[in-house]
Structure 1
Amino acid sequence: MLLGMTLFHALVVLHVATGVVGLTAFWGPIVTRKGAVNHRKWGKAACYGFLGAGMLAIAMALLSLYGPEYRHPEITDRTLYEGLFGWMMLYLGMLTIGFVDYGLAVVRHSRDRTALRAPRYQAVIAAVIVSGAWCGWFGFKVGHPLMMLVAFIGIVSMLIQQRYIWQTSDPPRQTYVGEHFRALIGMGISAYTAFLSVGLIRMIPEHVFNPAIWAGPSVIGVSLIIYFTLKGKKQAAAKPSGSRPHPQ
């Protein structure tokens, strides 16, 4: 039991360290000029930080579900605890990894999106969908709408990615930029939500099951997606109708 507790606390410390890197660097790509050196540097730091935090979240979730000791005895609803800090945290960790993987891959394969059909990428998307489906089903069983909501958002996001990957007609050349942006905003939403669980249960345990608090990252993230999408459409509409891109 002592070994398990030591391992769990070590994972928490590592999760916090990698999460702080990701959470801090996440805003760099948003405020810097897209495609510039600083944008790429901040983006890589955020992605690698969140990738580490996502893997550690999965490890902590598995320990919460199958570890030898009884964690957080002050929480009396053990089934709901298992759902939020076990299955949902595992899913959010997987979702974060899935968004990071896709967000980097669409840029890497911007000239050949069919490369995203490879088993290596499809396996990650499938893992997110399966873990999300189980999270949503568990949330339905325990009557917690938050688990169902985050599962729905993640699964729909994966299906939108699949539509881009598998569509038969070639999309406009710059479509991958929007895919990249939405994936990395989604990465931030899932990571902030998962990271919130680590501090929430320790700082304000009486609100640990409050859906309004857990929904905060999703509200902010979706608002950012809507804002930048509308901004991009407005900029595109402002261009002269007769203008054509210069040949490369």
Structure 2
Amino acid sequence: MDLFDALIAVHVIAGATGLIAIWVPILTRKGAASHRQWGRIACYGFIGAGALAVVMAMLSLYAPDGRHPTIADRRVFEGLFVWMMLFLGLLTIGFADYGLSVVRHARRREALRHPRYQIVMLCVIASALWCGYFGAQIGNMLMIAVAGLGVTAMALQQVFVWRTNPPSPQAYVGEHFRALIGMGISAYTAFMSVGLIRWVPEEVFNPAIWAGPSVVGVSLILWFTHQTSRKRKSRAPLISEARG
């Protein structure tokens, strides 16, 4: 087993841990002990998998050894398995880091303006812009699309971090949920498009593989937003009565 194969093995273990664990906090009662415990397991698993994805992307760039011979165009190979893999790894790390930190600093949002957090988000944005640019150069719309989603997601996080008017006390909950769902989307997309393709390389450009995680993730975000809105509206009359 060479270095790359060893990294893949550890990457798969870390990613599989996150892919399985993420469903426990999604399906269990929010704030419960199991929610917090399995949420941390999912985040740390994805952070490990994302970091290894970055390492493997750099190895693929500087030490290409004929991987994925079914992709004859090596520029396409570089786009998908170097720059997009690098971006998806950083995006997964960025979502996981933000999802954990927004809870840690729930009562002091200004802490997220610290360089320690800003550098992570800026690295994601930089890798997304390069991924989109490289995708435009080789005419690959998939790279452009995922890069656009990454830039949009990081921009929305920055809006929350830097907004001048104070958010509601529970605003961090929505940020936390959306970040961790985004983490799941990026990780599942990486698995489906980079990992699974190793076994079914003929499906590398199948749009259903790329769109599937995003459809599920966005649906969960919309459902959560709807449920939160209903709860907020149901509490509003009770608050008004209490004040009256």
TM-score normalised by length of structure 2: 0.95
**Distance in structure 2 (CA, Å) of the matches to 1:77 and 1:68:** 13
- Tell me which residue corresponds to 2:38: 42
- 1:66 equivalent to 2:66? Answer no
CA distance in 1, matches of 2:80, 2:132: 11
Amino acid at match of 2:171: T
Determine helix, strand or coil for the equivalent of 1:241: helix
Give the match for residue 236 of structure 1: 232
| 1:36-115 paired onto structure 2 within 5 Å | 36-115=32-111
Instruction: For 1:119 and 1:206, locate their aligned partners in 2 and report how far apart those are by CA, in whole Å.
Output: 43
Q: 2:197 aligns to what? A: 201
Q: Is the 8 A contact 1:85 1:197 kept in 2?
A: no
Contact 2:7 2:56 in 1 (8 A): yes
Q: Distance in 1 between matches of 2:181 and 2:240?
A: 30
- CA displacement, residues 107-137 of structure 1 (integer Å, 9 cap, x when unaligned): 0111111011111100001000000000011
Q: Aligned pair 1:154/2:154, yes or no?
A: no
Identity among equivalent positions (%) equals 61
- How far is the alpha carbon of 1:245 from its aligned partner? 11
CA RMSD, aligned part only?
1.6
Aligned to 2:5: 9
- The residue aligned with 1:122 is 118
List per-residue Cα deviations over 1:79-117 (Å, max 9, x = no partner). 111111110010000000000111111101111110111
Runs of 4+ in structure 1 off by over 6 angstroms are none
Which residue type is aligned with residue 35 of structure 1? Answer: G
Corresponding residue for 2:208? 212
Select the residue among 15, 19, 26 that pairs with 2:22.
26
In the TM superposition, what whole-angstrom CA distance separates every residue of 1:13-65 from its partner, at most 9, and x where no partner exists? 00100011000000000111000000001101100100100001111111111
- What residue identity is the alignment partner of 1:89? M
User: What are the ranges of 5 or more consecutive residues in structure 2 without an aligned counterpart?
Assistant: none
Kept after mapping to 2: 8 A contact 1:129/1:154: yes
- Does structure 1 conserve the Cα–Cα contact (< 8 Å) formed by 2:100 and 2:176? yes
DSSP 3-state at the match of 1:243:
helix
Where 2:29 maps in the other structure, the secondary structure is coil
1:184-204 CA-to-partner distances (Å, cap 9, x unmatched) read: 000001111112234322221
For structure 1, the residue ranges without an aligned partner over 5 or more in a row are none
The structure-2 alpha-carbon separation of the partners of 1:43 and 1:213, relative to structure 1 and needing over 3 Å to count, comes to: same
Distance 1:12 1:185 in 2: 24
Letter in 2 for 1:114: E
